Structure formats: structure tokens, C-alpha cells
Amino acid sequence: MISFTSLTFIFRFLPLFLILYYAVPSKFRNLIIIIGSLFFYAVGEPIFIAVLVGLIAANFLVADIGYRFKNTTSKGNRYRLKHKKRMLCAIMVSIDIIALVTFKILATFVESTLLPLGLSFYIFKMVSYQVDVYRATIPVRPKFIDTAAYFSVFAQITQGPIMRYEDGAFYNDKYFSIKNIEEGLKYFIIGFGMKVILADRIGILFNDLGMYGYQSITTPLAWLGAFAYSFQLYFDFWGYSLMAEGIMVAMGFDFVRNFNHPYASNSVSEFYRRWHMTLGDFFKDYVYFPLGGSRCSKGKMVFNLAVVWILTGIWHGNGINFLIWGAALGIFIILEKVSYGKKLSKIPVLSNLYVLIVIPLTWVVFAIKDLGDLGSYFSRLFPFFGTNDIAVNGNDFLEYLGDYWWMFLLAIVLCIPKTSEIYEKHKNKWYVTILLLIVFWIAVYFSASTDGNPFMYLNF
Amino acid sequence: MKKAPLLILLILSVLVFSLIGFLGKDNIYSSQDKNLLEKPFLTSVFTGINDEIYPWDLFNSQKRNQAAMEASERQKMEEEMLAKQIAGENANAESETADNETVTETQDSGIVNDEVQPADVDIETEETPTEEEIPEPEEDNPFKDYVPRYEPFRETTYDEYVAHVSADIYGDMGVQFAASYPFGKVTMEYFDDALFIGDSRTVGLVKYTDISQHADSLCETSLSIWKTFKSNFKGKGTVESFLKKKQYKKIYIMVGVNELGTGKTEDYMKEFTSVVDRIHEMQPEAIIIIQAIMNVDREKSTKDKVFNNENIRARNNAIATLADNETIFYIDENEVLCDEEGFLRDDLRGDHLHLKGKSNELWKEFLLSHAVILEGTVLAEDVEVETSEKPE
């Protein structure tokens, strides 16, 4: 039920929540968000919900102290006030980060179950909240109810997007509109379909490659696997983001964009401006810019980028492969900034190819935790490094392509920005409505087959 | 309808599917897992499709009645199991308080299983020879009185059934008897008239060794014993069509890992027996070589409640009893593929359940050295002698 694709969530929790949400007077809607979200969270994380509740209270209280200081017009006092607010912000951000780091360390070295669900997502929201309060970009003094609803909202708590407080406008009443629900439903269904019909299916290919060991696959299949995994990750995450945003839209919030056709980028830097955009923006606004960004010496900029990408690597998971992944991306992005980036991005096809080769390779690093296995995989991608002491089956590439071609075709079509434009133009037509209805029920079929049925999904 | 057509169509279709699920819950969908606390009614409409149960079957009274009957039978079976278990527990408690004599007796009776309850011991298990009973073991066959396909000495208990535990209800008598056959060593030509039936493990064997240049194979990922005669192996053909088309001399089969979580040991055994018998019926001239279900590695086996070596052994012990060492044989490749604790060796495995490509060579070697020598079979040593003689 904690997953948006589970039928219990779709047919029980979500409709019930939305009915309740719109049944109460608008001033109580944030309260319904809190109650519903804590219930949702408690199902998946009955113990660590205490961490969430504690951090919500602490973050609200500390930020609120800043609003209690008397505003002053004298210059000296203003400086002191600013200094005090800065201290408050620094203390609370430190507590948040220490909480994140502590649990990450516990999860890495003690037991993986010690990482509270969605911790890194809600901590990032909290950090942005503290800094935005300090920077006074939040227009009105937040009420506790509004802040708690922002931090806990179930649609974003497990996998984001990392929305900003002001983007959610929790302080504004949300009014019932059947149009919002229809719109949200469309986002939700598209996301549901991407995740369940496409990502979960095409993901089986990459999973299969591990079956007989990576050293047993041919080079073409290794590349096909790298692309399959790249598509899986993309449609899984984009799909999930769309589902989350669909729910938010149905609740009357503005749509928060998290992906903008990253695979159509002309450079790795651009790719990451269009991939998981709310995370990229977070690092940009709260790490890269405060460090000085690119408005400083070249050496300092390189350092700043390195910091951002090493942090990105650590944030994504515990394992050396994530560090290598972050570092590799950092190197490509630094190289682009200081050397070939501008020139290359002007050459259309070549720059696209560059992205489409570099990014899948980095995803392979992201995917394979065991460094020995990672080595095997790369020796198959680039066979001149490997040994000959292996057994491969020469037909494997064609066999897999025969089974998966329609998924690759669909994935490629969905990666093209033009597809979205066409959809936007036609989305209110009757045939799109029917198409979405069909997509929904096909997705339900796949979800029903795997949901809570451990023996269905395992195929040996 | 104009403002939110999708929402309205969605709600209508939810109602329709829920109604179908509701109407079918006691008949066509009775076999579907429906925990109503967790799952909505319409779930079974979709899980049913996987089991070839379609919404329109609701209008087929024959299918409806049959499913309802099966449901009541299943319920009766479960109730009986539960009742037996409770009775067994009571009997056990009584005998423990009375005296321990009966318990020690059963421990002596040749079957190695601590869990045997005195009430469950069959007459047949007492007939199985023990070392003491055999008068002159040195000159006599220890399996003189062995009866293949003997009855299990107990039934799966209700607790095991609900926990998806494959109960070891046969013991290792079948395995021991099968292992007493003097297998020989042969060359690759042995596979020229062989057929391999199997799941993804066998897919690996066929893909990564030269067996495919000699033998036919019908194997696919996710094959289970229930699908063995139904599958058409991605268009290659069914088992039946292959057996009709060509006369084989050896038919190898390894199926059983996918369905470890499905049914009881009894159910798996029943289906496996019927598959083996059907193959034998269609090709009485061919020998059938049952391969033990391959074990899983340490990590999988110790962590997984279903896909672990305990459950695999229980099912292997069952199917091994089919071996009569005349037309049906049982061989256990785990001997060479696993470590001394029975875990699939780390240096050989691809993932937790499969051999990596190269390691299949070892499995092939095992098959070559565990061949049933038939008339006209070329022995490996003959070839070796020949080749070594040639240069002289």
C-alpha cells in the first residue's frame, strides 16, 4: 500500500483520501493531508515515524523563532538580527544533516533496515525550508499546520519530488475543481503506465543479464542491457514522479516538473538539468551557489562542482559504485565546463550521441554494486579489456531484441520531446481519453499480477 | 461527463470490474488469493487472467460450478489438514507423557527423520530394510526389497502448508536407491538422441555448452511442472509434438524451482509423476533421467523462506522415488556444483540461482559421467583407448 502502484493504494487509500480531503471545509484540508500522510507513512514505517514527527516539530519551531524577533530599523540591530537568524538556520540545518548522515551510516554499517523511509527526501525539504525562511523567500509566516502538511504530504514523502514550500503555496486554500482531478488523473495514469508497463518489463532484461553472470554475455547484448537499464531507471522514476505530481494536482497544487526529456540533451551537464530537476535545483540553490557557483575562479568552480557531484553520489546510495558514479559524472561535467562542452553542444547529432553513450555507461556503474561484477560488465562492453576464458552465446542479442523490441520502440518514442507536444495538443480529445483508460487497466493487470504475489514475479 | 470524461469512465469501469469480481468470488475466482482487507474485489478479475480465467467465464455455468466445487474441496482439504494436525499434536503430547518407547522404535526404522510422529508411521516404512535386518549384506543387494514409488511416510502438516514449506515426506531412500545404479562415462555422441526439458537452469546448459549441437531441448525461463505439457516453448513446439515427431533414447528433465512456493510436496510430486508417466507412455523405449532440482547459493538459501535448499531437498527426495533404475533414473548434479554444505558454489554461480555461462561445462561433464549405459552406447574409455592407440 506504501507504493503508488499497489492496488490497495489506488483503489482504497487514494479515493478515500480525496473524498475526505474535499469533503471538509477548505481550511481543514491541510489537516487532512497530515492525518492521511501520517497514516500512509505509518503503514510503511511504524517505528521511524517518530523521527519524521520529531523533525517536523523541531524544524517548525526553530524556523518560527526567527519570526518572533522584533523587526528593527537601526542598522546595527539589523545586522545583529540577521546574524541571529543565520545562526538559527545553521543550527537546524546541521541537525537535519546530522540526522541524515547518522541514519545513512547506520544503514550502511549496521543494518539496511535502519534507514527511515523517504528520509533523504524529507530532510532535503526541511533544509530548503530553513534556508528559504532565512532568505525570506517565503511570503508569509508559516503556520504549523501548513509546514507539517508540506513536510509530510504522502505524495512526495517516499520519492519526492523535492518541492519548495513556496511552490506548494500551502498557505493558500485549495478549492475543489473537477478539472484538477481530471488533470491529476491523467498525469497519474501516464506515470502508472510508464512504471508498470514499461519500466518494470524492460527492467527484466537487465536483471536477466546477471542470471548467468555478466562475463557470459556478448558485447552487443551488454550494450543493449545498458540501454535497457537506462530506460528502466528513467521510466521508473519519471513515472513515479508523474504519479506523485498527479496526486498533488488532483489536490489542487501546481504541477512540479521533475523531468524534461533528459535523453534529448546535448551535454551531460544539460542532462542533469533535465533529470530529477528538483534534486538538481536543490544542489544548485543550497550547495553550489552558496559555495560561489561559477562566478569565481576556475579552480574554485572545479572544486565546487566536485563537491556537488560527490555529495550527489553519496546521497544516492551506500556503496562505492555510487561514489564512482558521482565522481565520473563530476569529471564529465567539469571537463565540459572547462573544455569541450560549448563546442560539442553546437554539433547536433554528435552531441546527442555523446550523451547517449556516456549516460548509459554511468548508469551501469550506478546499477552494479559489486565491483568485480562491474569489471566483468565493462570488459563485455569493451571486449578488448577482457579475458578469453569465458563462454558466451552468440545469439543472445537477437534473442533478447526479439523479445523486447516493442519496449525499446515505445521507450524511444517516449524519450522524444515531440511526443509530449503531440500529447499536450490532443490530450482533451476523446481518443486520448480512451487510450488512457486502456493504459490504466493494462497497468492494473500487471500490477495485480505482481502485487503481493511474490511467486508471480520470480521467474527462473 | 463533459468536464471529466476520464474520471467518469474510470469510475464506471471500476464498478463493472468490481461487480464481476464480486459475483465470481465464490465460483470462478474462488482459487484467487483474495485477502479483502488488502485487496479490492476487482483484483481477482486480473490475477485470474494469468490462470486463464476470464470475466466471460462468469456466464459459463459449467465453469462456474466446477470452480465452486473445487473451492469447496480445497476448503475441505485444508480443514482436514488442520484437524489432523491438531489430532497429531494431541497424540504426540499424550505419548510424550506416557512413555518414550514408541518414539525410539520409529527412530530405529531406517528412515532418517527426527520429526516423524509415531501415529504417522506407515506399515510400508517398517518394511524398508534396515542394516540389522539384512542377513548377509556382503553378498546381497541392500535394495533387494526396495519398492520405487513408495508412499510417503507422513503428510504435509497444516502449518507447513500455510508457510509454503515443502515437507520432506519421503526421506532419502529413493535418492540412495537411485545412487546405487552403476552409471558410466560417455562421450558427447551420447546426447545425439537425447531431449532436455527444463527451466532457466537448463536454458543456461543449452546456451553455454555444445550440448545443443547434439541434443534437442525444450526449455524456457519460468517453466514449472504444471506448464511442462502446456507450454509451446516460444513457438518451438510442445513436449507432446516433440515426442511424436522423433524417437528419443534419453529424456532429461529438471523442473521444480519456479513452483517451490506453489502447492505442497504432494501436489508437486503428483504432477511430476504424471508428467514422467506421460512421457514414458508416449516413448516407452526411452529412458527418463530425472535431474535433481539444482540448489541455490548460501545467501539465497539462508534468507529466502521459499527458495531454499531445505525445500529443494524435500522435493528432490520425493521425485527420486520415481527412479526404478530400469527406465527411470535419478541423478543429482548438486554433488559437483555445490559445496559440502549443499550451497551452489560461489565460484560457479551467476546470480543466486544460476550457474554462470562457463560453469555449465561442469554440469555437462557430470552428465557425461553419469550416463546410463544402453546397448550400443559408446563408452568414454573406449574412445580414449582408441585415440591413445592411434599414434603408435
User: Lowest-confidence range among A253-257, A361-365, B130-134?
Assistant: B130-134
In this prediction, does ipTM exceed 0.90?
A: no
pLDDT > 90? residue B3: no
Name the residue among A181, A433, A455 with its Cβ closest to that of B261: A455
3-state SS, residue B195:
strand
Q: Using a pLDDT cut of 90, give the percent of chain A over it.
A: 68
B contacts of A441 (beta carbons < 8 Å): 13
Distance, CA of A288 to CA of A153 (rounded, Å): 27
Distance, CA of A162 to CA of A120 (rounded, Å): 10
Residue B114 confidence (pLDDT):
43
Q: Which of B151, B155, B156 is nearest to B124 (CA)?
A: B151
pLDDT > 50? residue A457: no
Name the residue among A445, A452, A458 with its Cβ closest to that of B46: A445
Mean pLDDT, range B274-283, rounded to an integer: 97
Q: Which of A123, A149, A157, A163 is nearest to A43 (CA)?
A: A157
Residue B384 confidence (pLDDT):
64
Mean pLDDT, range A346-355, rounded to an integer: 92
A contacts of B200 (beta carbons < 8 Å): 211, 459-460
B contacts of A213 (beta carbons < 8 Å): 349-351, 354, 356-358
Residue B97 confidence (pLDDT):
64
Closest Cα of chain A to B41: distance in Å?
A: 10
**DSSP H or E stretch at residue B198:** strand B194-198
Chain A within 8 Å of B222 (Cβ-Cβ)?
yes
Name the residue among B13, B35, B354 with its Cβ closest to that of A441: B13
Return the residue of B nearest to A189 by Cα. B6
Distance, CA of B360 to CA of B154 (rounded, Å): 36
Distance, CA of A408 to CA of A360 (rounded, Å): 14
Mean pLDDT, range B15-41, rounded to an integer: 82
A contacts of B49 (beta carbons < 8 Å): 445
Partner residues linked to B288 by β-bridges: B251, B328
Kindly list the catalytic residues of A. Answer: 316
- Tens-digit pLDDT profile for residues A114-130: 889 999 999 999 999 99
Distance, CA of A38 to CA of B356 (rounded, Å): 46
Q: Which of A362, A369, A417, A411 is nearest to A239 (CA)?
A: A411
The label of the residue with cell 529438471 reads B254
Cell numbers for B146:
526396495
Q: Chain B, 111-140: which have a CB under 8 Å from a chain A CB?
A: none
Query: Phi then psi for A71, rounded to 5 degrees?
Result: -70, 145
Same domain, B277 and B361: yes
Residue B28 confidence (pLDDT):
86
Contact B10 A185 (CB under 8 A): yes
Contact A391 B10 (CB under 8 A): no
Tell which wins on pLDDT, B28 or B186.
Answer: B186
Residue B166 forms part of a structural domain: no
Q: Are B368 and B333 in contact (CB under 8 A)?
A: no
Same domain, B327 and B186: yes
- Tens-digit pLDDT profile for residues B75-112: 888 888 888 888 877 877 777 666 554 444 444 444 44
- Tens-digit pLDDT profile for residues A57-96: 999 999 999 888 876 667 778 788 888 889 999 999 999 9
Residue B238 confidence (pLDDT):
96
Chain centre to alpha carbon of residue B288: 15
Residue B105 confidence (pLDDT):
43
Return the residue of A nearest to B358 by Cα. A391
Contact A459 B200 (CB under 8 A): yes
Q: Which of A121, A94, A116, A96 is nearest to A106 (CA)?
A: A116
Same domain, B189 and B311: yes
Q: Using a pLDDT cut of 70, give the percent of chain A over it.
A: 96
Residue B109 confidence (pLDDT):
41
B contacts of A111 (beta carbons < 8 Å): none
**DSSP H or E stretch at residue A371:** helix A371-381
Distance, CA of A248 to CA of B242 (rounded, Å): 56
Return the residue of B nearest to A1 by Cα. B38
Confidence tier at B71 by pLDDT (50, 70, 90): confident
Instruction: Give which of A178, A212, A380 to mutate to test B binding, by max B Cβ within 10 Å.
Output: A212
Confidence tier at B113 by pLDDT (50, 70, 90): very low
Mean pLDDT, range A93-115, rounded to an integer: 91
Tell which wins on pLDDT, B287 or A385.
Answer: B287
Mean pLDDT, range A168-187, rounded to an integer: 92
Cell numbers for B292:
535433481
pLDDT > 60? residue A454: no
Same domain, B228 and B115: no
Contact B4 A211 (CB under 8 A): no
Distance, CA of A289 to CA of B280 (rounded, Å): 76
Kindly report the CATH number assigned to the domain that includes residue B250.
3.40.50.1110
Chain A within 8 Å of B86 (Cβ-Cβ)?
no
Contact A186 B355 (CB under 8 A): no
The label of the residue with cell 523405449 reads B285
A contacts of B357 (beta carbons < 8 Å): 212-213, 215-216, 390-393
Contact A444 B46 (CB under 8 A): yes
pLDDT > 90? residue B162: no
Chain A within 8 Å of B207 (Cβ-Cβ)?
yes
Residue B51 confidence (pLDDT):
80
Residue B127 confidence (pLDDT):
45
Closest Cα of chain A to B343: distance in Å?
A: 17
- Please state the three-class secondary structure of B95-134 as a single string: HHHHCCHHHHHHHCCCCCCCCCCHHHCCHHHHHCCCCCCC
Same domain, B330 and B200: yes
Residue A269 confidence (pLDDT):
93
Mean pLDDT, range A20-43, rounded to an integer: 95
Number of domains in chain B: 3
Cell numbers for B223:
517453466
Mean pLDDT, range A175-184, rounded to an integer: 94
Instruction: Give which of B1, B6, B236 to mutate to test A binding, by max A Cβ within 10 Å.
Output: B6
Confidence tier at B242 by pLDDT (50, 70, 90): very high
Q: Where are the alpha helices (DSSP H) in A143-199?
A: 144-152, 154-157, 165-168, 178-193
Chain A within 8 Å of B8 (Cβ-Cβ)?
no
Residue B347 forms part of a structural domain: yes
3-state SS, residue B197:
strand
Closest Cα of chain B to A433: distance in Å?
A: 6
A contacts of B362 (beta carbons < 8 Å): none
Q: Are A456 and B29 in contact (CB under 8 A)?
A: no
pLDDT > 80? residue B35: no
Q: Chain B, 39-58: which have a CB under 8 Å from a chain A CB?
A: 39-40, 42-43, 46-47, 49-50
Longest dimension (CA), chain B: 94
Q: What single-letter amino acid sits at A145?
A: I
Residue B165 forms part of a structural domain: no
Q: What single-letter amino acid sits at B386?
A: E
pLDDT > 90? residue A374: yes
Contact A212 B356 (CB under 8 A): yes
Strand B250-254 versus strand B287-291 pairing type? parallel
Strand B287-291 versus strand B194-198 pairing type? unpaired
Q: Which of B330, B284, B298 is nearest to B170 (CA)?
A: B330
User: Lowest-confidence range among A12-21, A154-163, B55-64?
Assistant: B55-64
B contacts of A393 (beta carbons < 8 Å): 207-208, 357
User: Lowest-confidence range among A15-19, A282-286, A441-445, B98-102?
Assistant: B98-102
pLDDT > 50? residue B133: no
Return the residue of A nearest to B41 by Cα. A11
Residue A406 confidence (pLDDT):
95
Residue B138 confidence (pLDDT):
53
B contacts of A215 (beta carbons < 8 Å): 356-358
Distance, CA of B49 to CA of A338 (rounded, Å): 57
Distance, CA of A125 to CA of B263 (rounded, Å): 48
Residue A122 confidence (pLDDT):
95
pTM: 0.84
Mean pLDDT, range B47-57, rounded to an integer: 86
**DSSP classification of residue A72:** -
pLDDT > 80? residue A421: yes
Residue B47 confidence (pLDDT):
86
Residue B9 confidence (pLDDT):
96
Contact B204 A212 (CB under 8 A): yes
Contact B7 A178 (CB under 8 A): yes
Distance, CA of B187 to CA of A98 (rounded, Å): 65
Q: Are A215 and B351 in contact (CB under 8 A)?
A: no
Confidence tier at B301 by pLDDT (50, 70, 90): very high
pLDDT > 60? residue A209: yes
Name the residue among A210, A216, A449 with its Cβ closest to that of B208: A216
Chain A within 8 Å of B347 (Cβ-Cβ)?
no
Instruction: Give which of A192, A209, A211 to mutate to test B binding, by max B Cβ within 10 Å.
Output: A211
**In which domain, by residue range, is B264 found?**
173-383
User: Lowest-confidence range among A110-114, A218-222, A433-437?
Assistant: A110-114
Contact A210 B200 (CB under 8 A): no
B contacts of A457 (beta carbons < 8 Å): none
Q: Are B276 and B322 in contact (CB under 8 A)?
A: yes
Residue B391 forms part of a structural domain: no
Closest Cα of chain B to A393: distance in Å?
A: 6
Closest Cα of chain A to B37: distance in Å?
A: 9
- Tens-digit pLDDT profile for residues A274-320: 999 999 999 999 988 888 887 888 888 899 899 889 988 988 877 88
Q: Using a pLDDT cut of 90, give the percent of chain B over it.
A: 56
- Please state the three-class secondary structure of B222-273 as a single string: CCCCCCCCCCCCCCCCCHHHHHHHCCCCEEEEECCCCCCCCCCHHHHHHHHH
Say how many CB pairs under 8 Å bridge A and B: 128
3-state SS, residue A45:
coil
pLDDT > 80? residue A99: yes
Chain A within 8 Å of B299 (Cβ-Cβ)?
no
Domain boundaries of chain A, sorted by first residue: 7-176, 180-457
Tell which wins on pLDDT, B277 or B380.
Answer: B277
Name the residue among A1, A390, A460 with its Cβ closest to that of B221: A460
Burial class of residue A316 (count of CB atoms within 10 Å of its CB; 0-12, 13-18, 19+)? middle
Name the residue among A8, A208, A390 with its Cβ closest to that of B39: A8
